A and B are shown apart, each in its own frame.
Chain A
Amino acid sequence: MSTMSLEPVRGRTDEMIVNMGPQHPATHGVLRVVLGLEGERITRAVPHIGYLHRNHEKIEEARSYPQVIAYTDRMDYVSGTQNELPFVLAVEDMLGIEVPDRAKKIRTMFFELYRLASHLVWMGTAMLDLGAISPFLYTFWDREIILGIVEKTAGARMLPNYYTFGGVRRDVHPDFFKDTADFLDHMERRMVDYEHLVLESPVVHARTIGVGVLSKERAIARGVSGPVLRASGVAYDVRKAFPYDAYPDVEFEIPTSPDGDTYARFWVRFQEMYQSIRILRQLVELTPKTGPHKGKAPARIKPPAGERYRAVENSRGELGVLVVSDGTDKPYRVKHRGAAFSNLQIVPDLFVGAKFSDSIAILSSLDPVFGEIDR
């Protein structure tokens, strides 16, 4: 038998081995966890991934640089253009392409719109895992508006292939800024409802407070990032630590919580949505309505030999990419550092000792997306 699977311990008859997934509706995709159960308590947990493996990194070695952008979209399919940015930034650095100020701001606006969309999907599915159905319907309603705004400009809803070297592919739709401002007004009203339904609900309190506590030291040692890390009390955010695009121009805070439990991770994501609304409000005012949307980029993208690592803070944490160029028009190696993949490493830590029903709440608070984890 392989070392990956759980074997029954000789002489222990009280432990039951249960296979959760890969088709379980609460695993947010195709995660399979083999659990050792002692009554309701989880004694051992071994996660298995790879059911959605599509060989992204190897395919990208055989594609030219502009073609790779279309493939990066397919990793974290919930947060659209956020995946394109690290690769685009890395290649821009290698080639020394100047990005116009307006293009940077448009990119940042799309980035934050997709953060809102992604957190809305998380909120709906997390509440679905806890047994509430109506928040799911309401969050997808609001996400529909975001995807409509994106489709008007970029032509697609989830996989827009919109960023390009030196800026964005085409100028925004004339209604873009007005639509976004209207949506932010709508979203601020809706956030009050979501606070009532999610953060203030006694059912959510009972299911999440004190469940799946991740200590600060353990979080740093396991290399988690994003809202999961910030809920454990570490104020690390790539947007502040290594600013990119238009983030130096806008004011925002990094919400952190010292508790590290499932409720803290819910709370941090909520506060991030408020910060996204705040950033978008500033950018609607700051972005010039007309101007260049794309800088001068060479027709054939051939970065000089060398390598470059760039990271961005996407909805789940630090999404990085290492691009190695050998001077040809195809990358020698593209290595993605997935945020959801790194966050999934704490699943055995958090599951052991928890009750079986709590494992569902813990998993949904990590917000895994399997397109990115399995790549």
Chain B
Amino acid sequence: MSLLQEVWQAVKAIGTGMATVHKRVYEDAPTEFYPYVKPDLPPVSVQSLALVENEDGSERCIVCLQCERACPAQVITIERHRNPEGKGFLIDRFDIDLVNCMYCAACVEACPVSSIVTIQDFEMSTYDLQTLKADIDFLHEQARRARQWYSPKFGVELRTEDGRIEKAPPEMQPGGLAELLKPAEEVDS
């Protein structure tokens, strides 16, 4: 290959490269200015876990230990005792070690009453790992702070301004649930 050809090849390669870069300059950036702009996460996104209480403050969890059995990382520890008046069990201890949790949401799949849910709060960085060894108060507080959460049984639920819990409208529900909740005539058409 002659020197002229080599020079021409180099110029052409630089030209194509610069043309591509130039094209991208005017496209919308895929990045977000994070601390100022919060990302819009889909409702199923698994960022953290929370333990939801009923509207009247009573416990939704029935202490069936399904989540403890389903957990692959074995980070859930539950202790319970039989309810002296009435039936069922009462919680003595409900700990999730969020440091070793791998956020697979197997516990959320297993929960029969949608008590343990996934929330979109991902800002959990801390200087001390011990603060992420969550006990029941921590998990309740996570749920009180959350505006919406997801569980496969109940779908997306919202917390309204006055503290009530209601089911999100069908267009917010992901996956097959949206199909289920649609009015019958819409599915037929």
CB within 8 Å of B: which residues of A?
A: 63, 66-68, 70-71, 73-74, 134, 138, 141, 144-145, 151-156, 159, 161, 169-174, 193, 196-197, 200-203, 290, 293
Contact = CB atoms under 8 A, between A and B. Distances in A.
Listed residue (B17, B23, B104) with the most chain A CB atoms within 10 angstroms of its CB = B104
Nearest to B152: A170
Nearest to B105: A155
B24 A70 contact: no
B16 A70 contact: no
Contacts of A153: 44, 174-175
A197 B175 contact: no
Given A71-B72, A152-B174, A153-B174, A200 B16 contact: yes
Given A156-B46, A169-B109, 9 more contacts: A67-B70, A134-B20, A145-B30, A155-B44, A155-B46, A155-B150, A174-B174, A174-B178, A174-B179
A63 B20 contact: no
A66 B70 contact: yes
Nearest to B19: A196
Contacts of B177: 171
A290 B178 CA distance: 11
A152 B43 CA distance: 8
Interface residues of B, number: 35
Interface of B: 9-10, 13, 16-17, 20-21, 23-24, 30, 41-42, 44-46, 70-73, 102-106, 109, 118, 150, 152, 174-179, 187
A153 B46 CA distance: 11
Contacts of A203: 13
Contact of A172 (B10, B105, B175, B187): B175
Given A141-B30, A200-B16, A193 B23 contact: yes
A242 B6 CA distance: 47
A155 B45 contact: yes
Contacts of B102: 70, 74, 159
Nearest to A143: B30
A152 B104 contact: no
Interchain residue pairs A-B with the least CB separation, the first 9: A171-B176, A67-B72, A171-B175, A70-B104, A155-B44, A70-B72, A161-B104, A155-B46, A152-B42
A156 B120 CA distance: 11
B179 A290 contact: yes
A154 B150 CA distance: 12
Contacts of B21: 134
B17 A197 contact: yes
A170 B16 CA distance: 44
A71 to B, nearest CB: 6
Contacts of B70: 66-67
Listed residue (A138, A145, A151, A156) with the most chain B CB atoms within 10 angstroms of its CB = A156
Contacts of A151: 41-42, 44-45
A319 to B, nearest CB: 20
Contacts of B72: 63, 67-68, 70-71
